[in-house]
Homo-oligomer: A and B are copies of this chain.
């Protein structure tokens, strides 16, 4: 079961004016499973996107990038997203691109826009042809299902190996108007930046310029989806999309130094944070949620490198699974994180607030019973002080269990 991830309460997921969602069952992998999600967006909305850096990026990622570029060039706004689970349409060559385009074209003719105004998303098995005809066949059903209150259903419909749906919502006041920010995400394995095997969608009815929405999304992504790891595998399909419909009635945000910008950015970050952490809490086989805080670095990048070295170490992760305070493995990971002039004698390592290591060795006053008490918890923080600068970074990860192997050895069967 996911680590401390409360079930979604659909009543707490506020609809976003100008966004409607319809779900259908295309039978891509399993008959009857809701696997196709259509998100219709009001005309004139701003849309921004961040995508995987994997060179084997999937066909839908390429089409998304192309269509977003066209949107920036022409101002013809994005009107729909189509998301399927069960097949990633990655490693599928020209055929995969053609099938993603067919889905865009069919959606466009269904909704009355152009194919370039549709963004496609896929998640699931790699290297298998996408049954695009099945998805196209259920687009009318998805359209008939369109509703502003389908966020919780969509959070379920985009899952793959996820156990729990991931969604959250918040409201703020901008310019005297109530503004909603609601987001959903999926992801559980192949989770490592840039980014995770994740799809994320956050929508707001705030009015904001496209350039600032993109900037806000990048910042929010870095501190959320680009700060998590489950297994160190960067996916082919990662996408995080922000939609701002502008229907809340606030004056359009065009100044990055304004307080409205700061307020909205904080709300987007809060939603992104929650979703990214939810992915780790639901990491394949996870039994522990681990926060790695690295402080005192000479650069942000080196703090993150130390966090990731720890967060992706199978030895660290299996020790956490066993609740075994085998903390030398943490030191070893710090040591190979790539900081060539690291003075290990300066480093302090704490489990929660228990000082474990100092001056390059074990804290003489540390008792294993203290470490054991922390390790027995479901939520653990590893706090590293490098004592060589003022930068800090946080990475979230989970432990590595038998179930991780089981899930990934059995995934296709």
Contacts and interface: CB of A to CB of B under 8 A. Distances in A.
A366 to B, nearest CB: 9
Given A55-B336, A361-B96, A412-B324, A331 B127 contact: yes
A-side interface mostly = loop
A408 B320 CA distance: 10
Interface string A228-241: 00011111100000
Contacts of A342: 55
A54 B405 contact: no
A339 interface: yes
B233 A54 contact: no
B328 A125 contact: yes
Given A54-B336, A91-B332, A127-B357, 6 more contacts: A54-B335, A55-B334, A56-B335, A91-B357, A234-B332, A324-B409
17 contacts: A54-B335, A55-B339, A90-B328, A91-B332, A91-B360, A91-B362, A94-B360, A94-B361, A126-B326, A126-B331, A127-B357, A127-B361, A233-B315, A235-B332, A236-B332, A321-B405, A400-B405
Nearest to A93: B361
A44 interface: no
B94 A359 contact: yes
Contacts of A328: 88, 90-91, 125-128, 236
Contacts of A125: 326, 328
Interface residues of A, number: 68
A343 to B, nearest CB: 8
Contacts of A327: 91, 126-127
B361 A92 contact: yes
B55 A335 contact: yes
Contacts of A357: 91, 127
A344 interface: yes
Contacts of A231: 313-315
Contacts of A333: 233
A413 interface: yes
B314 A345 contact: no
A120 to B, nearest CB: 17
A54 B332 contact: yes
Interface string A362-400: 100000000000000000000000000000000000001
Contact of A318 (B192, B313, B405): B405
Nearest to A322: B409
A219 interface: no
B408 A318 contact: yes
A406 interface: yes
Q: Lowest 5 A-B CB distances belong to which pairs?
A: A126-B328, A93-B361, A56-B335, A127-B328, A322-B409
Interface in A289-334: 312-315, 318-319, 321-322, 324, 326-329, 331-334
A262 to B, nearest CB: 33
